[in-house]
Amino acid sequence: MTTGFVPPPYPYDRLDGFRPLAEVWTGGLVDLSIGTPCDPPPEAVVTALSTSDSERGYPPSIGTAALRRAVRAWFDRRFGVDVPDERIAACVGTKEFVATLPQWLKLREPWRDTVLYPEVSYPTYEMGAILAGCRAVPVPVVADGSFRIDLDAIDEQDAARALLLWVNSPANPTGAVDDLGAAAAWGRRHGVPVFSDECYCEFTWEGSAHSILEHGLDGVIAVHSLSKRSNLAGVRVGFYAGDAELVHYLREVRKHVGMLVPGPAQAAGVVALDDDGHVAEQRTRYRDRLELLAGAFERWSGVTVPLPAGGFYLWFEVGDGWAFTERLAREGGALVSPGALYGQAGDRYVRAAVVQPLDRLKLVAERLGVS
Ligand SMILES: Cc1ncc(COP(=O)(O)O)c(C=O)c1O
């Protein structure tokens, strides 16, 4: 019998009981629970996977020169920010980066022990703190229903102990778009590095896309992924960039761990990053799906389903997120995520990821009698 760490159930495994309820429908389950892209990446990206001639040797942990050049060019094109190559490094998708980061930061500053993250957010921010034996301290969101992070609510003592603050804009699951300049300023004022998870930035609906790096590189790190931008979640390419010392430290420690994006994946990442056309197409797909599904859910349930400020999730208040999830599985054959998976403050909400083609969403609307 172990008395040590016991991993909690993986959030999405908690939905397994709902699947059989939806699977009985002709046409099967329409899975809107996990934010896993369903659309194809560009053909040239897939070709690059098999033609890079990079299978034999170990790939550089920090990312190939070509990948870091492509990242630099993308930051410049997208945000007008010049990020020197040595302030950029690769990660194996961003989930591993998020989950392992606190342990590396704690080794560097053992006198600090706290990870700050938005109280309704991607569960791996909290899990990374737990895996490092740190205090996971959720930061409240503002009370106006926008779910933006409330930096003023951070306790000074927690700030003094903080290894980092996570922000995520546009946010999963809420779609909130935060003031990244305010987050950077908060971090610099308190001497706390701010890690800005920007993996949904290409799907910003209100205003234009932003990176925290627009507010200077010092004391901040932007974290990006090609999983959502380029439908490459299966290939595992992410990158982080910003503060010189932090990037240098993380690059070095991650080399020792053997965090390597496979060479063919890095080559594919270059092709994906160099192309903005497929991202524009994907934006249109998500927008159409968000609008269709929001309308169908509103007509069926009578609750308001707002369109998000960013991202590809509908996030709406239903009263009891678990009960709504069960009812939708039974009556619509669709699976969504109860908001409690993203923090207790989300328990009156559900999240629906529009990662199914339009005809599958129309099928759900038909089943619900609101097509
Ligand atoms: C907010 C957020 N950050 C990071 C990730 C991790 O994505 P990946 O590991 O594919 O880069 C996800 C995936 O859903 C996410 O929603």
Mean pLDDT of 226-249: 98
Whether residue 11 has pLDDT greater than 90: no
Cis? peptide before 140, omega within 30° of 0: no
Residue from 92, 97, 122 whose mutation best tests the ligand 1 pocket (most atoms within 8 A of CB) = 122
* Atom 5 of ligand 1, residue of closest alpha carbon: 95
Mean pLDDT of 256-261: 98
Measure the CA dihedral 335/352/15/234, to 10°. 100
Residue from 91, 100, 125, 172 whose mutation best tests the ligand 1 pocket (most atoms within 8 A of CB) = 172
Contact, 209 vs 262, CB < 8 A? no
The Cα 258–Cα 61 span in angstroms is: 7
Mean pLDDT of 129-156: 96
Cis? peptide before 306, omega within 30° of 0: no
Record the tokens describing residue 60, joined without a space: 């550089």
- If you average pLDDT over every residue of the chain, what do you get? 97
282 CA to middle of ligand 1, Å? 17
pLDDT tens-digit series, residues 278-311? 999 999 999 999 999 999 999 999 999 999 999 9
92 CA to middle of ligand 1, Å? 11
pLDDT tens-digit series, residues 76-96? 999 999 999 999 999 999 999
The Cα 146–Cα 143 span in angstroms is: 8
- Whole-number Cα distances in Å, 211 to 70, 156, 170, 179: 17, 26, 10, 10
DSSP 123-167: THHHHHHHHTT-EEEEEPBPTTTT--B-GGGS-HHHHHHEEEEEE
Mean pLDDT of 317-341: 98
268 CA to middle of ligand 1, Å? 19
DSSP 208-237: ----GGGG-STTEEEEEEHHHHTT-TTT--
Contact, 232 vs 45, CB < 8 A? yes
**pTM value surpassing 0.95:** yes
Count, residues in the chain = 371
237 CA to middle of ligand 1, Å? 11
Ligand 1 closest atom vs CA 226 = 11
Contact, 147 vs 171, CB < 8 A? yes
Count how many Cα atoms sit within 13 Å of the Cα of residue 197 in the half-sphere of its side chain: 29
Contact residues of ligand 1, CB 6 A cut-off: 35, 93-95, 98, 122, 168, 172, 197, 199, 225, 227, 233, 238
The Cα 213–Cα 274 span in angstroms is: 20
The Cα 125–Cα 108 span in angstroms is: 19
Helix (H) or strand (E) segment spanning residue 100: helix 95-108
- Give SS3 for 7: coil
Residue from 227, 235, 240, 286 whose mutation best tests the ligand 1 pocket (most atoms within 8 A of CB) = 227
pLDDT tens-digit series, residues 20-39? 999 999 999 999 999 999 99
Checking DSSP bridges between strand 220-225 and strand 238-242, what pairing results, if any? antiparallel
346 CA to middle of ligand 1, Å? 19
Ligand 1 closest atom vs CA 238 = 11
Contact, 242 vs 198, CB < 8 A? no
